[in-house]
Structure 1
Amino acid sequence: MADKLPIFVSPEQLQEALGDAGIQIVAVDSASDYASAHIPGALQLTMADFTASQAPVAGLLPDDQRLAEVFSDAGLRNDAHIVAYDRVGDGQAARLLYTLDAMGHEAISLLDGGLAAWHQAGLELADGAPQHGEGDFSVNRQPDRIADRAWIKAHLEDADTAFLDVRSAAEYAGADVRSARGGHIPGAINLDWNRLKDDNGRLRPRAELLELLADHGVREDQDITHYCQSHVRSSYTYLVLRYLGYDKVRGYPGAWSDWGNADDTPIDTGAGS
């Protein structure tokens, strides 16, 4: 079953996989919320476990040793297909999966619609405190999945590189300022991540997604860097492009909290096309 799970799984697909020893489910949730309701057998992590901050920059990748310790302590296994979910719009679970992918663990899936979709499907929920197993998780950082400020500055003028800003139009334009400076990376394409979802917060059909990306000039042949404010929303779009078969995709940990708080980065303002 594990090798048949797509990057985005429905509640029904995950229900069929419950009990498969090759699959681990992870709730990205607080310990208290997890204790009140979680998918049976799920492990538990919080965003703070697998992200780092250096104020005013948030959403950074911890070092390899820290991530290996966190994932091991949570009971994750390198030989497992890891399915993540959350209860806040899929962004936090997507950030965990991006981090796993960037650390060389490609067997990943996101529960489409998160815990709300599971509940709406009428599927079983459990309660009780998190039960962490014994793990020995190793990481193998993949530089081609990660962009930082220096890499972006070096590739601003490259025709085969694109920057996908998945924040709101107001953030992109510089009207909604959440760092020292507002605006966007010069040349970045603006596509609000919410437009990839339907009215129920579920992923839109593949054909609609491909049309939407094409309408915004997102090309499969480019090396595409995703960013938002701290690489939560953009972790979701990273997974969407992976799901659609885009091979050259990167995340920007730190994202606008890094770029917009630096004093040596070029910034554009104004609406997108």
Structure 2
Amino acid sequence: MARKLPLFVDPEQLHDVLGLPHVQIVAVDPAGDYARAHIPGALQIDMPDFTASAPPVAGLLPDEATLAEALSDAGLRNDAHIVAYDRVGDGQAARLLYTLDVMGHSDLSLLDGGLAAWHEAGFELEDGQPQAGRSAFEVTRQPDGIADRAWIEQHLDDNHVSFLDVRSAAEYAGADVRSARGGHIPGAISLDWLHFKDARGRLRPRAELLEILSQHGVDSQCDITAYCQSHVRSSYAYLVLKYLGYPQVRGYPGAWSEWGNVDDTPVRTPSDPA
């Protein structure tokens, strides 16, 4: 039954499998927030546990040994269907699921709307500390889901590769500067990740998502790399494209916090000559 869970699950679908041994729910939450309120039986992991930084660069993928240790400490199991949620707009939970996906674990779901959606549906919450013990989670890096700076530089002029910038329009234009330099990767398509969500912060219907992507010129036949500032928002976009069946999708850990903080990467803004 767990393997039939869709990539994006609603609270009712998750409630139906609550407590099943082959389903693990994990809150991407600081320990204090988790202890105050979480979905019954949920495990807990925090963003710093499964990301790395090399200031000013944030949102990097740790090495496999570090990730295996962190995921094992959280009690996650390779034989489980893992459902992640957060309380801050789904991006942090999406980043965990991206990490799991590119480390070889594909039985995954995101609780659409996170803890707020669960609470709105009227389902129970509990408090206290995680109950599961340590596991022995194994990871196997999947390079096809990962783009790094060198890979992007090699493919800037590749007509079969597309870059999807899911930051705000102001960040893309260089008006909102969050690194040493503002702007975007040359040729990148601007599509704010919030366009994937409806007014309630839930995923839009499939037909609407496909229309939005088509209107922005996102070609499903391209090798698509999604990025934002530190690959939180773009992890959500990565999952959306996977959900829609796009055949080749990558994420760029580090993202603009890397690209915009070095002085030898090409950067474009709307004021640049064509």
TM-score (norm 1): 0.98
Three-state SS of the structure 2 residue aligned to 1:35 is helix
Map of 1:119 onto structure 2: 119
Q: How far does residue 262 in structure 1 lie from its aligned partner after superposition?
A: 1.0
**Is 1:255 paired with 2:260?**
no
- The answer (yes or no) to whether the contact 2:166–2:192 under 8 Å persists in 1 is yes
Three-state SS of the structure 1 residue aligned to 2:98 is helix
1:54-101 deviations in whole A, cap 9, x for unaligned? 000000000000000011111111111100000000000000000000
Q: How far does residue 3 in structure 1 lie from its aligned partner after superposition?
A: 1.1
**Is 1:188 paired with 2:188?**
yes
CA–CA distance in structure 2, aligned partners of residues 266 and 230 of structure 1:
18
1:208-266 deviations in whole A, cap 9, x for unaligned? 00000001111111000000000000000000000000120000000000000011100
CA–CA distance in structure 2, aligned partners of residues 183 and 202 of structure 1:
28
- The answer (yes or no) to whether the contact 1:44–1:132 under 8 Å persists in 2 is no
**Is 1:135 paired with 2:139?**
no
> What residue identity is the alignment partner of 2:96?
L
CA–CA distance in structure 2, aligned partners of residues 268 and 128 of structure 1:
49
Map of 1:79 onto structure 2: 79
Three-state SS of the structure 2 residue aligned to 1:201 is coil
Map of 1:42 onto structure 2: 42
Three-state SS of the structure 1 residue aligned to 2:239 is helix
Three-state SS of the structure 1 residue aligned to 2:16 is helix
CA–CA distance in structure 2, aligned partners of residues 132 and 194 of structure 1:
34
- The answer (yes or no) to whether the contact 2:68–2:139 under 8 Å persists in 1 is yes
Q: How far does residue 21 in structure 1 lie from its aligned partner after superposition?
A: 1.0
Three-state SS of the structure 1 residue aligned to 2:156 is coil
CA–CA distance in structure 2, aligned partners of residues 192 and 160 of structure 1:
22
Three-state SS of the structure 2 residue aligned to 1:110 is strand
- The answer (yes or no) to whether the contact 2:41–2:130 under 8 Å persists in 1 is no
> What residue identity is the alignment partner of 1:201?
G
- The answer (yes or no) to whether the contact 2:58–2:254 under 8 Å persists in 1 is yes
- The answer (yes or no) to whether the contact 2:57–2:257 under 8 Å persists in 1 is yes
CA–CA distance in structure 2, aligned partners of residues 132 and 167 of structure 1:
36
TM-score (norm 2): 0.98
- The answer (yes or no) to whether the contact 2:162–2:225 under 8 Å persists in 1 is yes
Q: Which runs of 5+ in 1 are unaligned?
A: none
Map of 1:70 onto structure 2: 70
CA–CA distance in structure 2, aligned partners of residues 247 and 107 of structure 1:
17
CA–CA distance in structure 1, aligned partners of residues 86 and 133 of structure 2:
20
Map of 2:222 onto structure 1: 222
Q: Name the Cα RMSD after superposition.
A: 0.8
Three-state SS of the structure 2 residue aligned to 1:208 is helix
CA–CA distance in structure 2, aligned partners of residues 202 and 103 of structure 1:
26
Query: Map of 1:237-252 to 2, 5 A cutoff?
Result: 237-252=237-252
> What residue identity is the alignment partner of 2:213?
L
> What residue identity is the alignment partner of 1:4?
K
Map of 2:23 onto structure 1: 23
Runs of 4+ in structure 1 deviating by more than 2 angstroms, as ranges, are none
- The answer (yes or no) to whether the contact 1:24–1:76 under 8 Å persists in 2 is yes
Map of 1:165 onto structure 2: 165
Map of 2:10 onto structure 1: 10
> What residue identity is the alignment partner of 1:54?
A
Q: Which runs of 5+ in 2 are unaligned?
A: none
CA–CA distance in structure 2, aligned partners of residues 62 and 123 of structure 1:
35
Percent of residue pairs bearing the same amino acid type? 75
